[in-house]
Structure 1
Amino acid sequence: MKFLSTLLLSAMASMVTAVPVEEEAAVAARVPAAEAEAAELETRQTASGCIYFAAPRCCVPTVCQCANGWIYQINQDAMNAGRHGCDPPWGFIATSNSRFPGYCC
């Protein structure tokens, strides 16, 4: 009898979940996006969240592009001191690549 009770309880426990199946699927769908965001932030490796960016075919020289897409001048003083030229960046240039002065694509 004890065996049957244990078997019945374990069977019932396996059928019950704390999270509905739809929510489990939604969480699973969000995980890759969250991992991609984390990977992007890790590759930036600057406190400012800006990285070097260049688009020579579109007449954009090497600049600093931040996570929000805004473009800034490279900080030459930081580079001369052996640090990352985008941490922090210098003067603001544009809010996107297409608004860069001289953009030709």
Structure 2
Amino acid sequence: MEYGESEGDRARSASDPVRSAQGWVILVTGVHEEAQEDDVYEAFADFGEIKSLHLNLDRRTGFVKGYALIEYGSKDEAQAAIDGMRGESVLDVPVEASWAFVRGRTRDRRD
């Protein structure tokens, strides 16, 4: 721990979201295997302008693998989606949203 740094500061920096090249990306898990882009879009569009939405499909079955990546233009919109979808469902299946990219904890170097 650095001089003047509290435990809260250190814990917060270990999970600070990191901006992607074009915006702020959240990871949505628990997505129903038969969900369509429109289903996920409608659930998350109320929180801000969605710049992109990606549902990864299983090549063999053609069904959704259970997660989605959603990109918002601002950090506030993405945070609103994470907070707003806490405890909510898409197609009657509970989903969970979190930051896709976070700053990792840095290790102290002792040379």
- Settle same-fold status: TM greater than 0.5: no
TM-score, length-scaled by structure 1: 0.31
TM-score, length-scaled by structure 2: 0.30
Q: Which has the larger radius of gyration?
A: 1
Larger relative contact order (Cα-Cα within 8 Å, sequence gap ≥ 6)? 2
Q: Give 1 or 2: higher strand fraction.
A: 2
